[in-house]
Structure 1
Amino acid sequence: INLHQITAVHKERIKKSLNCNVKNYILDDDEIDRLNNYEKFHYFEYGINLLECIKTKLNLLFNQSLPDTFLEEYAYLYNEKVKLSNECEELKIKINELEKYFVNEAVVAKVDDR
């Protein structure tokens, strides 16, 4: 199923192709990245199931004439969330490095005091 080219969905084809229900099939991160590359904003979140993905894609296809302000705002906030999450991870790494440094300095100072 090429989700980036989706224009129609047939329930039995999906069940036959995936051997499971659309609510139980979780898209992998690579597929989400691929879908988001086709759109102006990142509308698709990591960890969503196929049903939510199809609903989002169909909404994007059939509501192109409607104002996109809500979806754009959501996508903007989602992109900010991802950016801030990445920054938090980088800061956690720096904190761990600093903790290791200070623990090592304390050990060296303790050894020097002997």
Structure 2
Amino acid sequence: MVKETLSYATMAALIYRSAKIEPQYMGKLTGKLVKLRNRGFQHGIFVDRTAGGYFSRTFENYLGCLDVDGKAISRNPVRLNEEGIEACKEVIQNAHKENPEETKKMLRFLGLEKEQICF
């Protein structure tokens, strides 16, 4: 069973990467959830296949919460303000405390070095 914290950390890491490194659209980010799962990382986030790619209501809702809280600059492509970036880092750090090995595995796959998240 996947811990909920790790699911949120996965979404936070994808959003963090989009905000800090390379702005991406939700469809592409959701596709990365599928790639993670195909590589054996069980994130526990439900993803639907659509005509244009992939969609995750859970992921959309998570980003929507950041937007409603005033932490998102735009939703497509995904961009956050500094407060949003810090919120994502905090979620990732909490997951790392609970499950360091799986969190590191996920961060490596996404190309996010541990130092970038400031553990």
Q: Do they superpose with TM above 0.5?
A: no
Q: Which has the higher contact order (CA 8 A, sep 6+)?
A: 2
| Structure with max Cα Rg | 1
Q: TM-score, normalised by structure 2?
A: 0.26
Q: Give 1 or 2: higher helix fraction.
A: 1
Q: Give 1 or 2: higher strand fraction.
A: 2
